[in-house]
Each structure stands twice: as C-alpha cells, then as structure tokens.
Structure 1
Amino acid sequence: MADGFEIIPVIDLRHGQVVRARAGERASYAPIVTPLAKGSSPGAVARGLLGAVRATVLYVADLDAIMDGAPPDRASLEAIRAACPAVRLWVDAGFSQAAGVESFLGMNLGRPVIGSESQTDAGLVRALGDQAVFSLDTRGCARLGPDALHDEPTHWPRDVVVMTLGRVGVGAGPDLDRLRALRAASPATRLYAAGGVRGPADVAALAGIGVAGALVASAIHDGAFVA
C-alpha cells in the first residue's frame, strides 16, 4: 500500500441495513451479502470492514436521507459508533440546509459530508468550510449540482471526495483523468477518489498523481484489500 495513502471503507445504508452499491443505481441496491459479516446490520458490517483493512475513517452514505429527504438514520449511526468506537465517521445524509447540518452536529456522530448533488448553490459548502467534507458528484458525463461548485475550487474545504457514481461497484477503475485535472486545479486540496477502485494497483496509480485517499467498499468485500 502506498505510504500515507488513506483507505476509507464505505457503508451504504438503506432502511436500516447495509446495501451493496452498484453503478449509482440506488433504488436497486440490495442488502449486502459479504464474507466479512453475518447479515447486513450496520454494526456487524462496520466491524467486518475495519477487520479487513486498517482505517481511521469510515464513510457512511445514508441513502434514505439522500434519496427521500429522511432525517439521518441515527439508530444505524449509533450502532456503527458502538461497534467501532475508535473510528471517525464521515456521514453523507443529503445535507442541503444549515439547520440540518447543525442538528446533525449536535448528535456528535461524525463529520458531515456535503454532496454537490444535494445543493442549489455554493452557500452551504462555503459557510461550513473545513467543518465538513465536500463531495463533488458526477454521474457519467453529468456534473451533479451547481456549476459553481465544480468550477471554483475557492468554494471547497480542505477535504474533497471526487464521487464518480457510475463507476461505483462495477470494477471500472478510478477516473484518473478527472482526478489529475482536479489536482492541477487545486493542488492544496486533499482529494479522495470514490468509485471504481479495484485494489492496490489502483491505489498506487492514485497516489502517483497526488490523491490523498480512496473510498472503497466492493473491493474490500471481495478480498482485494487485506489488513
């Protein structure tokens, strides 16, 4: 594994269970079947992921919140925290309003992730700054969310996830060209690749272009990474 490169395991939550993500087609995600855990309960899967790879951060995508506007799944987040008390959580729960972020921060359950797909302008991202992680979302050739968030690195916090939804869970490899361009546009930003990472060879390629880390789920469940 590349020195200093951060592997961040990912959990996708839907109706209180962990589901297996594929190609960003969220409505069709089914409860996960994995050798890392018995069943699909959030705590068990979180323990399994962190037993498979050494990680200090776990990324949680709350799909009910992202897709349907539901409040964050507090019970599942608390189960993950109880199962893995040492890990820090990055939580994407479709945050689009300051009040929702403030309420979440009051739960003390993790650092909010602000997805570009959930925004109507750059205001929330700029207001939160480094309190939050920013996710720069695309699906295929489509940039999700306001153009200003894609075009102006001055809006970004220190940590930015480059989310390529169409590559999630399909073994397509990371979008190195896009990551290379974003790295050139904002050299001081810590970029985290999300979507398509298949194993150590991809990690080496990402580290080679200056990416700080990667969000990974399928490749961990499939045994491509070991602690």
Structure 2
Amino acid sequence: MYIIPVLDLKDGCVVHAKQGQREQYAPVRSPLCQSADLEKVMAAYLNLHPFTTFYIADLNAIAGRGDHQTLLNQLLSKFPSLEFWIDSGFQSTPSLYYQHDNYVPVLGSESYTNANCSTLLTFQQKYILSLDFAATLNLGAEQIFVSPILWPERIIIMSLPRVGSDQGPDVEKLQQFTQRYPEHVFIAAGGIRNSEDIAALSKIGITTALLASALHAGTIGAQDLQQIAS
C-alpha cells in the first residue's frame, strides 16, 4: 500500500479536517506535530516516514476565498524531489503551478457543475480526479460521476463524512468502483484508522490511500508504515 499524507490548508495553516465541516476546521495540534505551520507539519511527516508524495487541499481556493499560491509555489520549489497532488478548486486550464515538474493537479467533482465539467478534457487526462461524496449525495457535477470518458487513470474516492472520523473507510463504495471500472486506479480517502483498515483495502485491490488523522494520532506509526510499504 502506497501511503500519501494529507495537508489541508486554510487561512495560512494546516488544519484538522473532520467530516467535511470546513467552517469548523481548526489548526492542527497533535502528538505528531504541535505546530500548524505547513513546513513544520511536512517535516514531522518526513521524520515519521520517507514519504515521496503529498496531497494538499487548498481549502481557501476550493471555497473561492483566496488561495495559498505563494506558499505552495515556495513548497514546490523547496522540495523538488517530492511530488505534490494539489486540489485548488475549479480550474479551466492546466496552468496553475505548471512551472513545477513535481506538481500534479487534483480536480474535485465538488468544484464543477454539469455546465462546465467538459473543461476537464482540456487537461488531456494529466490530472487526478477526486470523486467527492457526502453522506447520501454525490458532490458537484453529476455528469462527472456518470461519464468515465472524462476520467483520468487515477481517481480518488473522497468520502468526506468519514474524513477525520472513527468510522473506517468506505470499503463497499471503493469495491463497487474497483469492480465496475478495473481499468482505473482508485485511491482511498477518508476514515482510515489503523493497519487493519489498510489490510481491508488491500484485499479489495486498493493500492494507494490518503491519510492524515491516523498519522497525527499515531494509530498508524513508523513501524506500521514500514510494514505497509514492504
């Protein structure tokens, strides 16, 4: 299993995401890192395990309330050997951070409507799609969910109600996607608590997972990560 740490950015600092309630997200304070500074949280992650890829959600950009472009450009320049998957909300062209070879755009369904989702085609599949789910709803353009022609190879199944919760991953939903669309690589996001959850995901063919809360809480620690990666 390939583990990708998550950094949720809001108002200049890393926040603790919980069940998609973004207005209530507070700066991170955890056993892993007592600071919410982006580079300090990065350092804490790298001290825990030699991760090579990071996922970043620019929550201000996603909400249309400013962005972290300056901060993220600095980060991309400082860590050229690391890859960063960045969700910056709606994009119509692949221009954001394009000057950095270590940047991969993440385009979330929640940021698109049926009227503009065809703009995904301008990315020529050089992006990662995030299919975003609420408890009972698909978030964003329904057309994206029913049009695999728009999909790139890699797709995040983002179960927002499970993010930062103790519910476990949505194994059933992930299995539905892996069975129906075996030509795609599906990535688990939301609710992963421990190594047992990782094992359950591996059994259904998931090979990549996004993690934050379990790393900060220590329920998936350095030794676990070594075993998971082996």
Is the structural similarity TM-score above 0.5? yes
Deviation at 1:108, TM superposition (A): 5.0
- State the match for 1:18 in structure 2: 14
Q: Aligned to 2:202, what secondary structure does the other structure show?
A: helix
Tell which deviates more after alignment, 161-170 or 45-54: 45-54
Aligned AA (2:210): L
Partner amino acid for 1:33? R
Say whether residues 1:114 and 2:110 are aligned partners: no
Partner of 1:218: 213
Q: Is the 8 Å Cα contact of residues 133 and 157 (structure 1) preserved in structure 2? A: yes
Tell me, yes or no, if structure 1 residue 43 matches structure 2 residue 39. Answer: yes
Query: In the superposition, relative to structure 1, how do residues 57 and 131 fare at CA in structure 2: closer, same or farther (>3 Å)?
Result: same
Q: Distance in 2 between matches of 1:119 and 1:168?
A: 21
Identity, % of aligned positions: 35
Is 1:147–2:142 an aligned residue pair? yes
Q: How many residues in Structure 1 have an aligned counterpart in Structure 2?
A: 220
Deviation of residue 110 (structure 1)? Answer: 1.2
What is the rounded CA distance, in whole Å, between the counterparts of 2:220 and 2:166 in structure 1? Answer: 14
**TM-score with structure 2 setting the length:** 0.89
Amino acid at match of 2:43: R
Q: Which residue number corresponds to residue 158 of structure 1?
A: 153
User: Structure 2: which 5+ runs fail to align?
Assistant: 223-230
Decide whether the 8 Å contact of 1:125 with 1:157 is kept in 2. Answer: no
> Which aligned runs of 4 or more in structure 1 are off by greater than 3 angstroms?
78-85, 106-109
Which of 182, 185, 192 pairs up with 1:187? 182
**Offset at residue 148 of structure 1 (A):** 2.0
Q: CA RMSD in A?
A: 1.8
**1:103 maps to what in 2?**
96
d(CA) in 2 for partners of 1:81, 1:144: 29
Between the aligned partners of 1:6 and 1:137, the Cα distance in structure 2 is 21
TM-score when normalising by structure 1 = 0.90
**Which residue does 2:59 correspond to in 1?**
63
Gaps of 5+ in 1: none
Residues in 1 aligned to 2:70 and 2:212: alpha-carbon distance in whole angstroms: 21
State the match for 1:31 in structure 2: 27
Q: Tell whether the 8 Å contact from 2:164 to 2:191 is kept in structure 1 after alignment.
A: yes
Range that drifts further, 46-55 or 58-67: 46-55
- Cα deviation, 1:167-193, whole Å, max 9, x if unaligned, reads 000121111111011111210111111
